[in-house]
Amino acid sequence: MRKRNSRIPNIAGSIMLGAVLVAGQACTQALEDPSLVVVIVVDQLRGDMLDEFDEAFSGGFRRLIDDGYRYTNASHPFAVTQTAAGHASISTGVPPSRSGIVANTWSQQTGEDWRTTYSVADDESPILGFEDADGVPGRSPKNLLRSGLADWMREADDNALTVSLSAKDRSAITLAGKTNSHVYWLLHDEARFVTSHYYAQAYPGWVQGFNEEVMTTLVADSVWDTEVPVEIQSLARPDFATYERRGSSTFPHISSLEERDHYEWVFDSPKSDEAVLELAKAAMEELALGQRGSADFLALGLSSTDYIGHLFGPLSQEQLSNLIHLDRILGEFFDYLDANVGEGQWVAALSADHGVATMPEYAQEQGNTSAHRINAREKARDRSSALQAAVAEGGASEDIAERLARQLEAEGTVAKAYTHQELTLGEPVDSFAILFRNSHYPGRGHGALSRYGVETRYGEGELLYSANGTSHGTPYWYDRHVPLIFFGKGIDAGVSDAPAYTTDIAPTLAHLAGIATMPDDLDGRVIYTAR
């Protein structure tokens, strides 16, 4: 194990008005560039979880923590912390206000009308093999307005290969940028990896074989048991809580469901990540990534942590077991890369698309009196009442937005309301307004009142959610704080507590890979230069 150093990058710049803090290091550039660039996004891996469960890790996480360069104060520089927005910011180096991916789903303005739009929806790009199937809509990066790291690598070398894999379409697609590349995601109720006509006109044999052989084996399991040794179970809260989504369920978890429901049960376990990493190995074998004389790109969106986190919470026995499992299979995958690409010949970054709120009931048990669930239906009624009052007074849309915002605040319906005019003109009224500005793209409204020109913020610790489980999506630190670790060729072991941002990942990896074709107008900056 290499000893950590304490080299701290210098800080320059500001988050104000969409800019981000920059951390730079004075080192010499590597003489040879890595042959494979790997982006790993662990969905819902909150920034403190690697420390909370540090004692449990001996595989991939252990290697990243001990041998990588880690930014402990990394975060997303925007307010609406959702999966699509987070992945797009990681891949493009710009926040949602510039990528256009403001949320998982938003209200899209077309003329005077508003319609609901899914972040990676595209009716003109049907799912390959499901063109005529009901309930299987098309997918592509049509709504993504910026190029990403994969695109920059292809522009620098048209022989470069780019592969992006995830259990979620909005993760795989946004990580791949705009490039027509190898992009596959899970169609959950079919238990198979799919792509759309945007990327291919036929499935290659290796993907078909994987679906028929490996996926069939993976979904055959009907028991999920803990991998947490007895001596470290105290790292997480007890394995019994009425506020978990499945209601006081404990290990072992057993499925007795019909086929499609069983598939969903399977993918709400560590099996989702296992499937993605096994497909990544198949892609490595078939495409010889990182072994062809060009710098190739591999993106992995790992979703199990999110699925399990929503159900059981970030500090549950289920999440601890899941992360122990992920630690092991990531370690095996890193060993695979060493054997096939070459140890020290690849470079990687690991981060997350967002964090998550601790179960409010557990937070209260730990003394956090501000944490509580709020009734979503009651809040919706309060918003509707305020809107009706604001509209009844008449006037221009800007006047209605201002009256609505102030009324919501006066009635205590929200902690703060921001009009779109406040988010686009003049100085931001507070630091949260900066984050909302970075999430705001005109004509794409992510909030319940966006079409009326207002964005809202509830109180810190308030969970506007169902009667159990937990979620994310707020501008608070627990939702924005994520891990950020660079690892591999040219990276020295070390830790920095300097502020860093997920928008810094793509430009930093591009620099480490010797890619000179990245755009010059990114919000993110190069924060680590190779030794």
Question: What residues have CB less than 8 Å from 392, skipping those under 6 apart?
Answer: none
- What is the tens place of the pLDDT at every residue in 182-193? 999 999 999 999
Over residues 285-318, the pLDDT tens digits come to 999 999 999 999 999 999 999 999 999 999 999 9
From first to last of its 531 residues, the chain has per-residue pLDDT tens of: 333 333 333 333 334 333 333 344 433 333 489 999 999 999 999 999 999 999 999 999 999 999 999 999 999 999 999 999 999 999 999 999 999 999 999 999 988 899 999 999 999 999 999 999 988 999 999 999 999 999 999 999 999 999 999 999 999 999 999 988 999 999 999 999 999 999 999 999 999 999 999 999 999 999 999 999 999 999 999 998 999 987 668 999 999 888 889 999 999 999 999 999 999 999 999 999 999 999 999 999 999 999 999 999 999 999 999 999 999 999 999 999 999 999 999 999 999 999 999 999 999 999 999 999 998 888 889 999 999 988 888 777 778 999 999 999 999 999 999 999 999 998 998 999 999 999 999 999 998 899 999 999 999 999 987 789 999 999 999 999 999 999 999 999 999 999 999 999 999 999 999 998 999 999 999 999 976
From the CA atom positions of the chain, what is the Rg in Å? 23
Mark out the alpha helices in 38-196 (DSSP H runs): 49-52, 60-67, 83-92, 96-99, 149-156, 169-175
Give the other-Cβ count within 10 Å of 58's Cβ: 12
How far is the C-alpha of 213 from the C-alpha of 271, rounded, in Å?
15
**Residue that is written with structure tokens 């940028």 in the block:** 177
What phi and psi values does residue 511 have, to the nearest 5 degrees? -65, -45
What DSSP state is assigned to residue 148?
Answer: -
Q: What number of residues does the chain have?
A: 531
Residue type, 73: N
Q: What is the 3-state secondary structure (H, E, C) of 426-448?
A: CCCCCHHHHHHHHHCECCEECCC
Q: What angle do CA 368, 374, 379 make, to 5 degrees?
A: 145
Domains along the chain? 20-363+475-512 (3.40.720.10), 372-460 (no CATH)
Global pTM value: 0.94
DSSP letter string, 78-118: SS---HHHHHHHHHHSS-HHHHS--SSEEEEEETTEEEEEE
- DSSP state letter for 280: H
How far is it, in rounded angstroms, from Cα 23 to Cα 9? 5
Integer CA distances (angstroms), 26 to 4, 5, 12, 517, 526, in order: 18, 15, 14, 22, 11
